[in-house]
């Protein structure tokens, strides 16, 4: 889909979508629980639909309503159902990595399929763990096949890989025969996402003990067997999505962003600290924040614990006076697109000055201009949204191709911008 973005005057109030990270975790815990769980404030993005489909194959019963879902969990007494077809994860890395350890507990041969770049993303951590236990783990460009039941014990994982591997093991550990320990070695990146996993597990009745060790690692201990128990779960608003509107608000002013929990433990809430360091002006309002036009200055940013903010921070750097330096950006290359290359290519069409040196990106704030050719979304929801913010913040017209990629995480993104006054034609 093409989106033709016209010069527009944006202001007003917008509600952010529910946290995709929290929704994945709540759906999974509910599916494993004894009883009926109600999950409210949910949006059926492509990623969440992938997780809902996967848990149904584990034996959960899923009933969808417009903004909520009721899940009757498989429980711990009925055993796993027979897996009769491949588990389709679409482009959702969370779905794939959360489900691999759980489906291994069925002791069946299970095939995982997907779309886009999903199987270009590294899975070496699971390959290593399965190999060590003598289990089958085969990856091709078309999918992953596992066969064999993961056994409890001591797991050691590097901390500089996706936290989804750690979360996947945590979800499965209480369903094993005896206690497991998971040691995460330093440097421990994306720690906050594992905290979200543990918070969800504990809300569904599973206990996880965490302890920092003198060597800098973190040790998690999970007693087993434990039972997940049904719970009602309200998904809070998503700070990683709020970041797009927050940056837009600090450049043009007059935007209220609501639907946010001010006490959230989401790691991407760090966008507020980053904006504050850049001189961004905002204040709390009921249910969120009001962002005002600000004279923004460059700062240094470490992406190690907030990689999902990468694309919008590229955009932010374009509007800051000076050189914005983004470090530890390497994992951006392993997402739905190579986000470093994609943002560099597309923002340069707007006149941006971006230099890349390994995992470090330097963005020099300069005046942007209308692109002489269409912008391209690289089949990546966060690239599309970050480019749209850049265009409207700079007050420029542009044609953006691949605009439908927002359906992966925020299907209502274009309608949200229209609600703020953006003139958008889609075709």
DSSP code at position 143: E
Domains 2-17+238-426 and 20-227 fall in the same CATH topology: yes
User: Could you read off the pLDDT of 295-347 as tens digits, one per residue?
Assistant: 999 999 999 999 999 999 999 999 999 999 999 999 999 899 999 999 999 99
Residue 109 has pLDDT above 60, yes or no: yes
In whole angstroms, give the CA distance from residue 397 to residue 177: 60
Highest mean pLDDT of the ranges 55-59, 119-123, 279-283: 279-283
- Statement: residue 90 has pLDDT above 70: yes
pLDDT (tens digit, 9 = 90+) per residue, 337-361?
999 999 999 999 999 999 999 999 9
Give the active site residues: 308
By three-state DSSP, how is residue 355 classified? Answer: strand
Percent of the chain with pLDDT over 70: 99
Q: What pLDDT score does 79 carry?
A: 67
* Residue 396 vs residue 75, higher pLDDT: 396
Give domain 2-17+238-426's CATH number out of 3.50.50.60, 3.40.50.150, 3.65.10.10, 3.30.1540.10: 3.65.10.10
Q: Is the distance from CB of 82 to CB of 123 less than 8 angstroms?
A: no
Per-residue model confidence as pLDDT tens digits over 261-275: 999 999 999 999 999
Spatial contact of 315 and 393, defined as CB atoms under 8 Å apart: yes
pLDDT of residue 76: 60
Please give the Cα distance from 73 to 279 (Å, whole number): 47
- Taking residues 238-258, what's their average pLDDT? 98
Q: Is this model's pTM higher than 0.85 or not?
A: yes
User: Of 6, 23, 8, 4, which is closest to residue 240 (Cα–Cα)?
Assistant: 23
Averaged pLDDT, 179-202: 95
Q: How many CB atoms lie within 10 A of CB 89?
A: 27
Write down the CATH superfamily of domain 20-227: Enolpyruvate transferase domain (3.65.10.10)
Report pLDDT for 310: 98
Mean pLDDT, residues 148-175:
96
Phi-psi group of 36: left, alpha or beta (phi > 0 → left; psi -120 to 50 → alpha; rest → beta): beta
- Give the confidence band of 80 by pLDDT, cuts at 50, 70, 90: confident
* Residue 194 scores a pLDDT above 70: yes
In sequence order, what DSSP letters do the residues of 251-297 get, joined into one string? HH--EEEES--TT---GGGHHHHHHHHTT-EEEEETTEEEEE----B
State residue 77's pLDDT score: 53
For the residues 215-221, what does the mean pLDDT come to? Answer: 95
Domain ranges of the chain: 2-17+238-426, 20-227
Nearest Cα to Cα of residue 329 among 189, 167, 184:
189
């Amino acid at each position: 889909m093409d989106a033709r973005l016209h010069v527009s005057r944006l202001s007003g109030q917008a509600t952010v979508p529910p946290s995709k990270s929290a929704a994945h975790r709540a759906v999974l815990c509910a599916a494993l629980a004894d009883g009926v769980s109600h999950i409210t404030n949910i949006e059926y993005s492509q990623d969440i639909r992938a997780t809902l489909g996967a848990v149904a194959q584990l034996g959960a019963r899923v009933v969808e309503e417009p903004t909520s879902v009721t899940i009757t969990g498989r429980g711990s007494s009925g055993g796993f159902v027979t897996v009769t077809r491949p588990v389709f994860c679409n482009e959702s890395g969370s779905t794939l990595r959360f489900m691999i350890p759980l489906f291994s507990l069925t002791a069946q041969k299970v095939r995982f399929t997907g779309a886009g770049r999903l199987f270009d993303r590294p899975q070496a951590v699971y390959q290593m763990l399965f190999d060590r236990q003598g289990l089958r783990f085969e990856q091709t460009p078309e999918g992953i096949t596992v066969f064999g039941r993961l056994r409890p014990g001591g797991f050691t994982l590097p901390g500089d890989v996706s936290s989804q591997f750690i979360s996947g093991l945590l979800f499965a550990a209480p369903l094993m025969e005896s206690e497991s320990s998971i040691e995460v070695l330093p440097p421990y990146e994306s720690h906050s996402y594992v905290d979200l996993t543990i918070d969800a597990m504990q809300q569904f009745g599973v206990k996880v003990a965490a302890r920092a060790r003198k060597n800098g690692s973190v040790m998690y201990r999970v007693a087993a067997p434990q039972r997940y128990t049904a719970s009602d779960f309200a998904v809070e608003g998503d700070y990683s999505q709020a970041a797009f509107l927050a940056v837009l608000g600090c450049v043009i002013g007059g935007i209220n962003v609501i639907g946010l929990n001010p006490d959230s433990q989401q790691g991407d809430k760090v966008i507020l600290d980053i904006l504050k360091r850049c001189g961004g002006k905002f204040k709390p309002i009921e249910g969120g924040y009001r962002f005002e036009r600000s004279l923004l200055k460059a700062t240094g940013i470490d992406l190690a614990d907030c990689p999902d903010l990468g694309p919008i921070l590229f955009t932010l750097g374009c509007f800051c006076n000076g050189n914005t330096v983004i470090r530890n950006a390497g994992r951006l290359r392993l997402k739905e697109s190579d986000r470093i290359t994609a943002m560099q290519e597309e923002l340069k069409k707007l006149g941006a000055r971006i230099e890349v040196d390994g995992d470090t990106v330097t963005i020099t704030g300069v005046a942007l201009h209308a692109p002489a050719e269409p912008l391209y979304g690289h089949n990546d929801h966060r690239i599309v949204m970050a480019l749209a913010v850049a265009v409207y913040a700079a007050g420029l017209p542009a044609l953006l191709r691949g605009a439908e990629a927002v359906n992966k995480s925020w299907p209502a993104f274009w309608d949200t911008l229209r609600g703020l006054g953006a003139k958008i034609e889609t075709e």
